């Protein structure tokens, strides 16, 4: 069994920090193999490596690298789950929309809140209460599409 000195541990940690994903885990597993019997526990204690990571690296050495697929994690966007939602929301707020009174921008304004838009879309288009996005998501979607959920400001008369 090889002995882990402080300089060796420092070198191993620096090398492991430069690697990512399966390459890092496989490096840890190869290091533990080189250390021999009891190398995993010695590497855990001295270098601070996780035992689970080392075991996963040992499996990868036997069976090949595992793809982590980080991009596939997390929740899906509301457009992917409900593709017609944005169109339905626009249909429900269309009667309430007005253009900018000063005609300075191309945005349209509406008096109803995002929570009211959510309630209307559930009632009118029979969306599920749990699957319909929250009011914040609806507000963000409408802002991106060019409709602002703000109180319509009336034009001020010009002073003489």
pLDDT digits (tens, 9 = 90+) for 74-113: 888 888 888 888 888 888 887 877 776 666 776 677 777 8
Instruction: Name the DSSP letter for residue 99.
Output: E
CA 115, 117, 119 angle in degrees (round to 5)? 70
Each residue's pLDDT tens digit, 30-88:
999 988 888 888 888 888 888 999 999 999 999 988 887 777 888 888 888 888 888 88
Give the three-state DSSP class for 111.
coil
CA 66, 71, 73 angle in degrees (round to 5)? 90
| Pairing between β-strand 97-99 and β-strand 108-110 as defined by DSSP bridges | antiparallel
Residues paired with 97 in a beta bridge: 110
Give the three-state DSSP class for 101.
coil
């Amino acid at each position: 069994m090889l002995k882990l000195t402080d300089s060796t541990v420092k070198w191993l940690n620096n090398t492991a920090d430069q690697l990512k994903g399966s390459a890092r885990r496989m490096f840890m597993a190869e290091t533990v193999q080189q250390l021999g019997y009891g190398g995993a526990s010695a590497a855990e204690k001295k270098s601070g490596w996780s035992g689970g990571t080392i075991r996963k690296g040992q499996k990868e050495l036997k069976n090949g690298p595992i793809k982590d697929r980080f991009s596939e994690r997390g929740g899906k966007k509301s457009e992917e789950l409900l593709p017609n939602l944005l169109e339905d929301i626009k249909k429900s707020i269309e009667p309430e929309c007005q253009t900018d009174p000063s005609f300075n921008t191309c945005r349209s304004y509406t008096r109803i809140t995002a929570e009211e838009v959510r309630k209307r879309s559930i009632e009118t288009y029979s969306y599920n209460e749990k699957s319909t996005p929250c009011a914040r998501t609806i507000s963000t979607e409408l802002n991106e599409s060019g409709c602002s959920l703000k109180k319509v400001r009336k034009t001020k008369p010009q002073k003489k």
